[in-house]
Amino acid sequence: MSLRSTSLTPGRTIPGLIWQVGLVSLCRLVFNTARRFAYPFAPVLSRGLGVPLTAITSVIAVNQSTAVIGMFFGPLADRLGYRLMMLTGLGMLTVGMFAGGFLPFYDVVLAALFLAGLGKSVFDPALQAYVGERVPFQRRGLVIGVLEFSWAGSTLLGIPLVGLLIEHMGWRAPFFAMGGLGLLGIAALGILMPKDGKKSVRHQTAAGLWSAWWRLGQERAALGAIGFAFFVSAANDNLFVVYGAWLEKSFSLSILALGLGTSIIGVAELSGESLTAAISDRLGLKRSVGVGLALCIISYGVLPLLCQTLPLALGGLFFIFLTYEFTIVSALSLCTELLPGSRATMMSGFLAAAGIGRVVGALIGVPVWMKGGIQLTGYLSAAISCLGLL
């Protein structure tokens, strides 16, 4: 399928988007921190709410499931406007976080993190479609790569700040902080980001709310991208859910040392996003996806050979998450042009498939590792990733 560029020129588009990219990157940092902070602080939340740890893992699972629900907002974004849906997503985050802070009950916190996750699933496709509509294709990898810095930033900056808030002010403090930041984001985005144009809204209204999904189903490239997202995400989470247990068992690591491993993954994600921003446009987005996935498959296969020493194991994990992040961010950039008339629909479908893949990977990860150790985990992740090449 040919990739059509937008009618805007680089000179008109990129300078005008610099401040917008900074603003929405900060908003995404809050979204991503809200999505990820429950993982390391699950024991703290369980004690604060007076519930077993398994109840918090259920909260995490519900949060992840919002990616599937979010796909139904894609056609709405194409119809009603990307700015409006970004504001809607921020509103969900703000309401959810304040509710969790003011009402410290398990059911409320469950609903709060569900709302925050759903807000992210509404915000992200609309943002990526907004970029796809305004940034020429030859600069798309740069801008999407910069936006994705907020994913690594949640690990390197957001979660440590949450830890400081919990330590000094209690487990409810992060909810108030993220709710307040969400409110500031709504005000800033509402004032500084231009309103959606009327032309595209009329077009989508005439086309109908669900016609975009029919169009997506008729596009082989779009369906291939959705399958790609599912397989590479399942492969990555198959490893992600057990890497901590593997390191702890193999090298007798303390909690502090496991925290170091998480920081290494954060640095790897940031490196992959930086690499996307730096070279993916020059290399070509389609080629970047292919090269990145090939290197990721190799790194999965090599990981079982690197378990003799801790530095080798951490180096193997670093390369896996670097190549995975480079691959997935390059793919996000590529997908913004696969269905130009329904960009938010395409991106919500891609992210929903990735979310389902992560759920599947998380479900199979522990049984696979318990049965065959890191050898079976690495080889299975490589095999699943190969399906993404089809």
Alpha-carbon dihedral of residues 67, 68, 74, 77, nearest 10 degrees? -50
Exposure b/e, 240-260, CB count within 10 A at least 16 = b:
bbbbbebbeeeeebeeeebbe
Amino acid at 264: I
42 vs 339: CA distance, rounded Å: 39
Same fold flag, 7-207 and 210-390: yes
Q: Which overall architecture, per CATH, does domain 210-390 show?
A: Up-down Bundle (1.20)
Amino acid at 379: Y
| Prediction pTM value | 0.78
Mapped to the 3 state alphabet, what secondary structure does 220-239 carry? Answer: HHHHHHHHHHHHHHHHHHHH
- Token pair in block for residue 40: 């390391």
pLDDT at residue 93, as a whole number: 97
Cβ atoms 344, 129 nearer than 8 A:
yes
| Cα dihedral 29, 34, 37, 39 sign | negative
Domain layout of the chain by residue ranges: 7-207, 210-390
- Token pair in block for residue 385: 């990733």
| Cα dihedral 236, 238, 244, 247 sign | negative
**Own/partner long-range contacts of 100-107 (Cβ < 8 Å, ≥24 apart):** 100/172, 100/175, 101/172, 101/173, 101/175, 101/176, 101/179, 104/48, 104/49, 104/172, 105/49, 106/49, 106/50, 106/51, 106/55
Ordered per-residue pLDDT tens for the chain, 390 residues: 334 444 444 444 455 567 888 899 999 999 999 988 887 787 788 889 998 877 877 787 778 778 888 778 877 887 888 899 999 999 999 999 999 999 999 999 999 999 999 999 999 988 988 888 888 888 888 888 888 889 888 888 888 888 889 888 999 999 999 999 999 999 999 888 877 665 444 444 444 556 666 777 778 888 999 999 999 999 998 998 788 778 878 888 765 566 667 788 889 999 998 999 899 889 999 999 999 999 999 999 999 999 889 999 999 999 999 999 999 999 998 998 888 777 888 888 898 899 889 888 888 888 898 899 999 999 999 999 999 987
46 vs 148: CA distance, rounded Å: 30
261 vs 259: CA distance, rounded Å: 5
97 vs 112: CA distance, rounded Å: 6
Q: Helix and strand tally (H, E) in the chain?
A: 18, 0
pLDDT at residue 204, as a whole number: 47
pLDDT at residue 118, as a whole number: 93
Cβ atoms 178, 34 nearer than 8 A:
yes
Task: For residue 227, count CB atoms less than 10 angstroms from its CB and return exposed for 0-12, middle for 13-18, buried for 19 or more.
Answer: middle
Cβ atoms 335, 354 nearer than 8 A:
no
Task: Look up the CATH number of domain 7-207.
Answer: 1.20.1250.20
- What are the DSSP calls for 291-303, one per residue? HHHHHHHHHHHHG
